[in-house]
Amino acid sequence: MPTLLYLQKLPEPLVERLRSAAPGWEIHTGTRDDLPPELYRSAEIICGWNRKQAEELLHEEARLRWIHTPSTGVDYLPLEQLQQRGVLLSNSKGVHAIPVAETTLGLMLALARQIDLSIRNQGKHLWKPGKNPLVLHGKTIGIVGTGQIGRELARIAQALGMRTLGVYHSNKPEQHFDEAGDMDYLDTLLKESDYVVNILPLTDQSRGLFNADLFRRMKSSAFFINVGRGPSVHTDDLVQALRDGTIAGAGLDVTDPEPLPEDHPLWDLGNLVLTPHIAGDSDENQERVLELFLDNLKFYLQEGKLKHNQVRYDREY
């Protein structure tokens, strides 16, 4: 009997939907610590990933044929080994577009309206308004990464009266961007944007992309927002840019390293807002990931391949 592992605790109605979609399969659900190690070598399909059991999943006798990730990014997986074994890989691209876009907007508003300063003063019992809070209306947002998250963010930004610029990797976006270009357009975006938002996946090309040189190309009044991946930013360069006023401030949902060590200088910067990698979280994620997985599962069982969201190993996303 083929085995499917779904590495989340699901309520019984959702478990029943899994069983109905894959009759004749042995299905196990639960957290990575709930499931016994011996199940991993026998699994043909796994939704999620367990670093502790990677040796079992990649064993020469393992039956693994398809991995689906509840996340959009796949940089934490052993991509080269999975490709060599011919394992199909899919992600949950699209599921997180709304919460990530809303979190990005929240970071932008916190910095513009100085809400972060008010929260810090609240803890000190200080009634101390900030100086010259900004409005987003009329400002320019530059979105580096114009996939589903970038397009949703651009849609919201336009509704707020912002000018939207975008840098894309493959396909030029058709909606919600006033201007967009490929990576050659990045320099223009940096020079003209009041908010520069990174939503790129982590690849060899994006690793360390945002460094001192790029921060110097931004307006000194501009803010940098990272909801992509921490290692796409050279952290020491960002710290220096925030300290010396090269840029006005930053909002980070991801960092490098992550989690951030207690003694890291990012904690103490007054022009920085931090959230602990929660941008993609929402009360709707569990069911939306399952819906996407079930759609692919039914197609996989019929055709032996995936219907959508298949990751290209050569692109790393």
Q: Does one domain contain both 154 and 251?
A: yes
Residue 298 lies in a domain: yes
Residue 311 lies in a domain: no
Residue 312 lies in a domain: no
Token pair, residue 255, equals: 């960092």
Residue 308 lies in a domain: no
Q: Among candidates 222, 235, 217, which has minimal Cα distance to 274? A: 235
Q: Does one domain contain both 211 and 162?
A: yes
Residue 87 lies in a domain: yes
Digit-by-digit pLDDT tens for the chain (317 residues) are 999 999 999 999 999 999 999 999 999 999 988 899 889 999 999 999 999 999 999 999 999 999 999 999 999 999 999 999 999 999 999 999 999 999 999 999 999 999 999 999 999 999 999 899 999 999 999 999 999 999 999 999 999 999 999 999 888 888 999 999 999 999 999 999 999 999 999 999 999 999 999 999 999 999 999 999 999 999 999 999 999 999 999 999 999 999 999 999 999 999 999 999 999 999 999 999 999 999 999 999 999 999 999 999 998 89
Residue 309 lies in a domain: no
Q: Does one domain contain both 120 and 244?
A: yes
Q: Does one domain contain both 123 and 266?
A: yes
Q: Does one domain contain both 168 and 219?
A: yes
**Cα 92 → chain centroid:** 10
Q: Does one domain contain both 16 and 55?
A: yes
* Residues that are catalytic: 229, 258, 277
Q: Does one domain contain both 201 and 63?
A: no
N- to C-terminal Cα separation, the chain: 31
Domain count across the chain: 2
Q: Does one domain contain both 50 and 154?
A: no
Q: Does one domain contain both 48 and 117?
A: no
143 beta partners: 166, 197
Q: Does one domain contain both 14 and 154?
A: no
Q: Does one domain contain both 220 and 170?
A: yes
Residue 245 lies in a domain: yes
- Residue 114 near residue 136 (C-beta atoms within 8 A): no
Contact residues for 213 (Cβ-Cβ < 8 A; gap 6+): none
Token pair, residue 189, equals: 């975006």
pLDDT at 222: 98
Q: Does one domain contain both 71 and 187?
A: no
Residue 201: CATH number of its domain: 3.40.50.720
Dump the DSSP string for 224-282.
EEE-S-GGGB-HHHHHHHHHHTSSSEEEESS-SSSSPPTT-GGGG-TTEEE--S-TT--
pLDDT at 32: 86
pLDDT at 182: 95
Domain that holds residue 24: 3-94+283-303
Residue 169 lies in a domain: yes
pLDDT at 69: 97
Please provide residue 77's backbone torsions phi and psi, each rounded to the nearest 5 degrees. -95, 155
